[in-house]
Amino acid sequence: MIIELTSQHMEDIDSGKKLIVDNEEWQYVCQDGETEIDENGKSYRFIYRRLSDDKLFRVTNYLCRYGYEDYGFEVEYQDCNAYEVERKEIVRYEWVHVK
């Protein structure tokens, strides 16, 4: 399921305000993963819970970098969608050096 958000919703997320979609408050759960930063900007992924049906959604917020030495970030977004997600356990094996 994909819920379409507005740019106002994205600004509310960026400024730490409550997220209210279709007159229903969504509860902040956590930040999903690390903040990803490159020369063009940075992105954050957040998980929110819709309280009416307890469904979880991931929202990506992307900030574009402007300036060179004295730079900042402008509020821009990859998309304005909330994607339904669920938490799954993933087992990963790695080869490591033995001392």
pLDDT at 3 (0 to 100): 94
Helix (H) or strand (E) holding 64: strand 55-66
Q: Does residue 48 belong to any structural domain of this protein?
A: yes
- Cα(49)–Cα(51) distance, rounded to whole angstroms? 6
Separation of CA 84 from chain center: 12
pLDDT digits (tens, 9 = 90+) for 19-58: 999 999 999 999 887 777 777 777 888 999 999 999 999 9
pLDDT at 80 (0 to 100): 86
Total domains present in the chain:
1
pLDDT at 89 (0 to 100): 94
Residue 39 belongs to what domain range? 2-85
- pLDDT-derived band at 74 (thresholds 50, 70, 90) equals low
Q: Minimal CA–CA distance to 84: which of 61, 53, 58? A: 58
Q: Does residue 64 belong to any structural domain of this protein?
A: yes
Q: Are 90 and 64 in contact (CB under 8 A)?
A: no
What pTM was computed for the model? 0.74
